[in-house]
């Protein structure tokens, strides 16, 4: 991991802190973000009194949900038995909300068969996201699995006849059907299903310590459960399968069951596209 920030410089911007705390961070303290961190080996860490899993080298990850509380707390217990408490001030985000009224009641009423199928799909997805593995790829510098026009953003939501729909928990990148996508980081395939009801062709890659990536609406899958995937390796093709209005990749980032914004761990799309254009000159 190349972007670790000293505690002093990060917390001077984000929150009040104990300057002696023995921890460094990679990430932003804001709603929807994934944060990676490193402490001295044999340190124990709690987030809001919940213990966090650490690698043998003292690396860890945690996230802040879409509507995360703006005040949270980290506690460290060092190898010598001393403890430090670090208050975290989480930055709030504003999300794009679209209100749609006048929809007929029969359209709003879900199909029982569709509901049953989607629930079965959800069970598979939750199982894949909920597992713990000791893969340390979560500490890599992630890359975009696909570059192009961003057509949908994390946290956006539609309100139908005054009833809020499920927020969008990914970032959408528009591309033609058949465009190849690659793994944003190393990992092991924990789920690969060609025809889920809502998400169509779906892949989940486990990066370790609760961090995983989901790829939705794929037209073709190149991988199977259990496959080890290297960063940059092709894993599938863009499609419009499931409940999609057009071909695109819906890339999602998870910390266990918490759904986070993939944009929080990659360079901006504009900078990536700009860099690619300069290389081609």
What is the rounded CA–CA span in Å between residue 42 and residue 65?
A: 28
Query: What is the per-residue pLDDT for 275?
Result: 82
Closest CA to 127 of 58, 39, 200, 191: 191
Query: What is the per-residue pLDDT for 276?
Result: 67
Residue with token string 């996201």: 129
Residue with token string 């104990």: 18
The reported pTM is 0.88
Question: Would you say 152 and 171 are in contact if contact means Cβ atoms under 8 Å apart?
Answer: yes
Split at pLDDT 50, 70, 90, the class of 6 is very low
Topology of domain 7-89, CATH: Immunoglobulin-like (2.60.40)
Whether 248 has a pLDDT exceeding 70, the answer reads yes
Query: What is the per-residue pLDDT for 102?
Result: 66
Domain pair 7-89 / 97-279, same fold: no
Which of 45-49, 116-120, 211-215, 238-242 is predicted least confidently? 116-120
Instruction: Find how far residue 225's CA is from the centre of its chain.
Output: 20
What does the pLDDT average to over 72-96?
96
CA-based torsion, 111, 112, 114, 119: positive or negative: positive
Looking at domain 97-279, its CATH superfamily turns out to be Glucose Permease (Domain IIA) (2.70.70.10)
Instruction: Find how far residue 56's CA is from the centre of its chain.
Output: 24
Quick: pLDDT tens for 116-165: 989 999 999 999 999 999 999 999 999 999 999 999 999 999 887 778 88
Quick: pLDDT tens for 24-69: 999 999 999 999 999 999 999 999 999 999 999 999 999 999 999 9
Whether 15 has a pLDDT exceeding 90, the answer reads no
Query: What is the per-residue pLDDT for 223?
Result: 98
CA atoms within 13 A on the CB side of 33: 20
Q: Which residues pair with 85 in a beta bridge?
A: 75
Question: Would you say 220 and 186 are in contact if contact means Cβ atoms under 8 Å apart?
Answer: no
Whether 171 has a pLDDT exceeding 50, the answer reads yes
- The token pair that represents 161 in the structure block: 């006849």
- The token pair that represents 177 in the structure block: 């059907």
Quick: pLDDT tens for 26-37: 999 999 999 999
DSSP conformational letter for 262 = G
Ordered by start, the domain boundaries in the chain are 7-89, 97-279
Residue partners of 109: CB distance under 8 A and separation at least 6: none
What is the rounded CA–CA span in Å between residue 199 and residue 194?
A: 9
Whether 10 has a pLDDT exceeding 60, the answer reads no
């Amino acid at each position: 991991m190349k972007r670790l920030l000293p505690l002093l410089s990060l917390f001077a911007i984000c929150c009040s802190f104990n300057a002696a705390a023995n921890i460094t961070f990679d990430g932003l303290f804001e709603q929807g973000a994934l944060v990676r961190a490193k402490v001295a080996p044999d340190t124990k860490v709690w987030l809001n009194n919940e213990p966090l899993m650490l690698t043998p080298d003292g690396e860890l990850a945690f996230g802040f949900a879409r509507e995360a509380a703006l005040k949270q707390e980290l506690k460290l217990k060092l190898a010598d038995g001393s403890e430090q408490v670090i208050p975290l001030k989480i930055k709030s985000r504003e999300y794009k909300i679209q209100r749609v009224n006048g929809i007929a009641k029969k359209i709003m009423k879900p199909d029982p068969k569709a509901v049953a199928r989607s629930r079965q799909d959800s069970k598979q997805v939750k199982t894949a996201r909920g597992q713990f593995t000791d893969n340390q790829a979560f500490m890599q510098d992630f890359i975009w699995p696909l570059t192009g026009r961003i057509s949908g953003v994390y946290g956006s939501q539609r309100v139908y006849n005054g009833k809020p729909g499920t927020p969008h928990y990914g970032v959408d990148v528009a591309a033609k059907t058949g465009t190849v996508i690659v793994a944003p980081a190393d990992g092991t395939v924990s789920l690969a299903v060609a025809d889920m009801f809502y998400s169509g062709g779906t892949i989940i890659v486990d990066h370790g310590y609760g961090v995983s990536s989901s790829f939705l609406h794929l037209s073709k899958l190149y991988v199977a459960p259990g496959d080890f995937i290297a960063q940059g390796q092709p894993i599938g093709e863009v499609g419009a399968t499931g409940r999609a209005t057009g071909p695109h990749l819906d890339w999602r980032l998870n910390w266990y069951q918490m759904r986070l914004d993939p944009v929080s761990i990659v360079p901006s799309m504009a900078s990536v596209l700009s860099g690619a254009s300069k290389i081609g000159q």
